[in-house]
Amino acid sequence: MKNRELRQTAMAVVAALALCAVWCFGQSPSSGVARFLAPTGKDFPLAGGNLANQRYSSLTQINRSNLSKLGGAWMIHVAEGQPTSSTAATPVVVDGVMYIGAGHGDVLAVNAATGATVWRFKSTFGNQTNRGVAVAEGKVFSGASGSRLIALNQKTGALLWETKVMDTAAGGRGGGTPGASIYSDGRVFCGVSGGEGGVRGQFGAYDAKTGKELWKFYTVPGPGEFGNDTWEGDSWMHGGGPLWTHVAVDPELGLVYIPVGNASPDQNGSRRGGDNLFTASILALDVKTGAYKWHFQEVHHDLWDYDNPLPPVLADITYKGQPRKILIHGGKTGMTYILDRTNGKPLIGIEERPVPQEPTNKTAKTQPFPIGDSPVPNCPEPGSVAEGSRAACVFGAFRPDDPVVTADGTQGGINWAPVTFSPLTGLFYVPGSLINSKFDAGFGRPPGEPRAGTLSAMDPATNKIVWQVRTKFPLATGSGLLGTASGLLFNGASDGNLVVYDAKDGSVLWKFQTGAGADAPVATYEVNGEQYVAVLAAGNSFQLSSRGDNLWAFKLGGKVPPAPEPEAPPTSQPAGGRGGRGGDPDQPQPGRGRGF
């Protein structure tokens, strides 16, 4: 306990110095390589807050002493009253204007203090999930349907350029671009989704001025490339390796960190023997050239849809008395992987352990298990599996005529809901889900089995749980977490409540009803000396939550009252329907299950 308290004191000093770099010298957290780890302040310029995805704000006006005075400042309907499953974005705020994906492929800019519309970009490209935009160089960068990356005029919303990041000519398979755009030093980073459809994954950097491709890296290597020998025959050609989320960037090291998704075919490994690099991996590339630097594979020869949808988090900590640069990533396995981000080596240790085998699926003989605690249990909870079903822990083997019910399932464990790292406490905070999955020829979630969640505080120097609370609803495919320097954790709950937890112990300090599933990430910012908190309450099919298109902002003294309470999600899995067997509601894939 004493060592942890000393580490937390050291981290608090680091946090204070970082804040001074912002406040004392007027430097923006997003400008310059020395400040990329600094907390957000007045602005919230990226989906992850900063390039390190720490989702931690220096603002303290809203704190434990005055939470009772926090109320609605304004609420608007972003999808013009036509809710859609693609409404899932983080509010991005720059210079008093909020930019957000508004559903149906649209992008909306509003006055962040009043909610008044500044402009709306009406998409002609079609609908796809939008998890966030980036704002820089007088432009708003966003993914768009049809494997596109677009740039809009920051002041008017006019389309400035569009780039097709994947060529789908000549029968090629296309993917979407749902992950939040990330900008750094003149480059916009973008990858493609669609692993279940047999896309060969790719990730690239694009010139912010013109949209021209600067470099491209295929996440499934071809002949002659490092890693191609981990694919049987020509299975690499449609091997998956998609990107469902956004990346992290370390400008000091000159590296971009990519969470690569699942292999394809998803649950059938019979035709793709080998470890199947770089699927289910963290991949580090040179930010200027796209050259390979290192990788760490979290799941060998993935058969369980463990598709790495969580954005990686970067932090500087003290480990065994020495400063270390680390990367934190949570997997749908329910485990957290802590790496040295300079070289990809495990910080604490990750063991290769034997796992159950199924020759027809060509299962890997071993899988990586991090030393420390799993924030989410790695086996089905006692009594959670229906009588007569075969149960197994994570990496349970299966075949179509010998199904298995496992945890962690395809919804996690840990999924796309973002974690937060607090330089004040030195801890990272993880939203998790307790949902079983059944695997046979595909996957599904067995009807009647329980659904719940966990919120865990983890020490990155030990990978141990410091505290944990159980939540009524799953958290891993919902809002995620936002931390502030006042020791608060904000989370949007699937029953419609915006919830504030105490970062010290996970106790609930405050709630406010938004009227729909508050399942998109929370942001905080400052306008005219007032701190605001914003969340998009739109619901989603994986959380089984009520739909809406309610964009809320809160401040001290806000007078907008809570919305009527929506129907709460079930706490046991329904038969079929939302969150059951079936594809992405925006990208239907009949007969398949998927986790994002």
Q: What is the pLDDT of residues 6-35, one digit of tens each?
A: 444 444 444 444 444 333 323 333 333 347
Return d(Cα 394, Cα 406) in angstroms, integer: 6
pLDDT, residue 145, reads 86
Q: Of the candidates 185, 201, 280, 189, which has an alpha carbon nearest to the alpha carbon of residue 236?
A: 201
Relative to beta strand 92-94, strand 97-103 is antiparallel
Q: Is the pLDDT of residue 579 over 70?
A: no
pLDDT, residue 173, reads 58
Question: What is the arithmetic mean of pLDDT over 125-148?
Answer: 90
Q: What is the DSSP string of 390-431?
A: -EE-TT---BTTB-EEESSBTTBSS-SSPPEEETTTTEEEEE
Listed in sequence order, the residues at least 6 apart from 380 whose beta carbon sits closer than 8 Å to its beta carbon are: 391, 393, 405, 406, 407, 436
443-470 CB burial, b ≥16 within 10 A, e <16: bbbbeebbbbbbbbbbbbbbbebbbbee
Return d(Cα 464, Cα 529) in angstroms, integer: 38
- C-alpha distance from residue 52 to each of 33, 40, 66, 93, 328 (Å): 12, 11, 30, 17, 10
Q: What angle do CA 293, 428, 55 make, to 5 degrees?
A: 80
Return d(Cα 50, Cα 37) in angstroms, integer: 7
Q: Of the candidates 567, 538, 554, 564, which has an alpha carbon nearest to the alpha carbon of residue 108?
A: 538
Radius of gyration of the chain (CA): 22
The phi and psi torsions of 102 (rounded to 5 degrees) equal -110, 10
pLDDT, residue 174, reads 64
Question: What is the arithmetic mean of pLDDT over 395-411?
Answer: 95
Which residue has 């796209």 as its token pair? Answer: 290
Q: What is the DSSP string of 270-298?
A: TTS-S--TTTTEEEEEETTT--EEEEEES
pLDDT, residue 193, reads 86
Listed in sequence order, the residues at least 6 apart from 428 whose beta carbon sits closer than 8 Å to its beta carbon are: 313, 315, 328, 419, 420, 421, 422, 457, 458, 460
Question: What is the arithmetic mean of pLDDT over 230-256?
Answer: 95
Question: What is the arithmetic mean of pLDDT over 144-171?
Answer: 86
Hey, where are the domains in the chain?
2-556
Beta bridge partners of residue 87, listed in sequence order: 130
Return d(Cα 203, Cα 215) in angstroms, integer: 9
Q: Which helix (H) or strand (E) holds 354?
A: strand 350-354
Return d(Cα 421, Cα 54) in angstroms, integer: 5
Return d(Cα 570, Cα 306) in angstroms, integer: 24
Classify domain 2-556 by CATH number: 2.140.10.10
The phi and psi torsions of 213 (rounded to 5 degrees) equal -65, 130
pLDDT, residue 328, reads 98
Q: Is the pLDDT of residue 110 over 90?
A: yes
Q: Of the candidates 377, 426, 374, 375, which has an alpha carbon nearest to the alpha carbon of residue 406?
A: 377
Q: What is the tens place of the pLDDT at every residue in 190-201?
A: 998 877 777 899
Return d(Cα 186, Cα 83) in angstroms, integer: 34
260, 278 Cβ separation under 8 angstroms: yes
Question: What is the arithmetic mean of pLDDT over 290-298?
Answer: 98
Q: How many CB atoms lie within 10 A of CB 81?
A: 8
pLDDT, residue 187, reads 98
Return d(Cα 437, Cα 385) in angstroms, integer: 10
Q: What is the tens place of the pLDDT at every residue in 437-452?
A: 999 999 999 999 999 9
- Over pLDDT 90: what percentage of the chain? 81
Return d(Cα 468, Cα 485) in angstroms, integer: 20
pLDDT, residue 320, reads 96
Question: Where is average pLDDT lowest: 101-105, 241-245, 540-544?
Answer: 101-105
Quote the tokens at residue 269: 């490994």
Question: Where is average pLDDT lowest: 12-26, 150-164, 425-439, 571-585?
Answer: 12-26
Return d(Cα 413, Cα 380) in angstroms, integer: 11
- Over pLDDT 70: what percentage of the chain? 89
Return d(Cα 24, Cα 32) in angstroms, integer: 16
Listed in sequence order, the residues at least 6 apart from 568 whose beta carbon sits closer than 8 Å to its beta carbon are: 473, 494, 495
pLDDT, residue 263, reads 94
Q: Is the pLDDT of residue 532 over 70?
A: yes
Residue 363 burial by CB count (10 A; 0-12/13-18/19+): exposed, middle or buried?
buried
Question: Where is average pLDDT lowest: 58-62, 245-249, 582-586?
Answer: 582-586
Return d(Cα 100, Cα 142) in angstroms, integer: 9
Catalytic residues: 305
pLDDT, residue 86, reads 63
Which residue has 């021209």 as its token pair? Answer: 212
Question: What is the arithmetic mean of pLDDT over 97-104?
Answer: 92
- Give the count of alpha carbons within 13 A of 268, CB side only: 10
CB pairs under 8 A, 24+ apart, for 93-98?
A: 93/43, 93/44, 93/45, 93/523, 93/525, 93/534, 94/43, 94/45, 94/135, 94/154, 95/43, 96/527, 96/528, 98/525, 98/534, 98/553
**65 or 23, higher pLDDT:** 65
The phi and psi torsions of 422 (rounded to 5 degrees) equal -110, 115
Quote the tokens at residue 372: 């420390």
Sign of CA dihedral 533, 536, 542, 544: positive
Q: Of the candidates 447, 393, 388, 416, which has an alpha carbon nearest to the alpha carbon of residue 519?
A: 416
